[in-house]
Amino acid sequence: MVIFILIDGLRPDAVTPAHCPHLATTLAKGASTLRATSVMPSITLPCHMSIFHSVPPTRHGVTTNEWSPMARPLPGLVDVARAAGLHCAFFYNWEPLRNLSQPGSLSFAYFQDNVETPEGDQVIAEVAARTMAADRPDFAFVYLGTVDTAGHAYGWLSDGYLAQLAKVDRALNVVLQSVPDDGHVLIQSDHGGHERSHGTHSADDMTIPWIVAGPRIRPNGTLAAPVSLLDTAPTLARLLNIAPHPQWEGRCVEEAFQ
């Protein structure tokens, strides 16, 4: 089982044992960088389209949080996994993410519109943990969106932001407890933020944490080579033992593997 967890709006300088101990523990156990890069515009839907399709917004064409069909379609990670016969599941609380894969590619999807609720990610995490334990999908995507909501409400790295991150860290642990011994987990953000916004070229917006852990991953390793969110799909493809699509522009982060 491969689980991909995205914490929306998480800045890497917030990833500390004081603010998010469970995430910090995973960072210490796996291969990671706190200097991975996002894409422009550094906002949620363009970033997610780039994560799942391993191409920049200039290629997939989604440049706002309103989805539009790709002018030159290419399969994303979930579509490639489905074509290989794998079972994929999504758990999320921001509705536009339903367009990250083609119809018919998912075996299970759970959405609840609770991203504005402080306990919303806890609900998503509990459903994800129960479903993964019962159904054991080959690949699961778990989206936790309330840290970004807190950033817009209170400001990035504010007390309100960090308090919400602590809640989300507890939700994250619920998901992590469901990962089997032979499973792998990749955790990252889509973008950072500054003041009460994001979307610019600034390092505060463009720098993200990127963490992968599991039995095939080199433990306790800080990644030296640059990592982009375009590299996520090829890396997940390797963990799933499937070939990346030839039009993907990212690379597998080989340095992370044993």
Please name which of 40, 46, 123, 132 lies closest in space to residue 89, comparing C-alpha atoms. Answer: 132
Write the Ramachandran bin of 91: left for phi over 0, alpha for psi from -120 to 50, otherwise beta.
Answer: beta
Measured on CA atoms in the order 102, 104, 106, 108, is the torsion positive or negative?
positive
> What pLDDT is stored for residue 45 in this prediction?
98
pTM exceeds 0.95, yes or no: yes
CA angle, 174 as apex, 168 and 177 as ends, to 5°?
135
How far apart CA 83 and CA 101 sit, in angstroms, is 12
> What pLDDT is stored for residue 221 in this prediction?
87
pLDDT, tens digit only, all 258 positions of the chain: 999 999 999 999 999 999 999 999 999 999 999 999 999 999 999 999 999 999 999 999 999 999 999 989 999 999 999 999 999 999 999 999 999 999 999 999 999 999 999 999 999 999 999 999 999 999 999 999 999 999 999 999 999 999 999 999 999 999 999 999 999 999 999 999 999 999 999 999 999 999 999 999 999 889 999 999 999 999 999 999 999 999 999 999 999 999
> What pLDDT is stored for residue 232 in this prediction?
98
Judged by DSSP in three states, 137 sits in coil
> What pLDDT is stored for residue 134 in this prediction?
94
Percentages (nearest 5) of helix, strand, coil residues in the chain: 40, 20, 45
Using alpha carbons, list the distances in angstroms from residue 133 to 23, 85, 174, 194.
21, 20, 12, 37
How far apart CA 131 and CA 253 sit, in angstroms, is 29
> What pLDDT is stored for residue 91 in this prediction?
98
> What pLDDT is stored for residue 172 in this prediction?
98
Backbone angles phi, psi at 210, to 5 degrees: -145, 120
How far apart CA 235 and CA 229 sit, in angstroms, is 10
The CATH class that applies to domain 2-253 reads alpha beta
Contact 94, 8 (CB under 8 A): yes
How far apart CA 151 and CA 160 sit, in angstroms, is 8
How far apart CA 26 and CA 169 sit, in angstroms, is 11
Contact 147, 97 (CB under 8 A): no
> What pLDDT is stored for residue 66 in this prediction?
94
Segments making up each domain of the chain, as ranges: 2-253
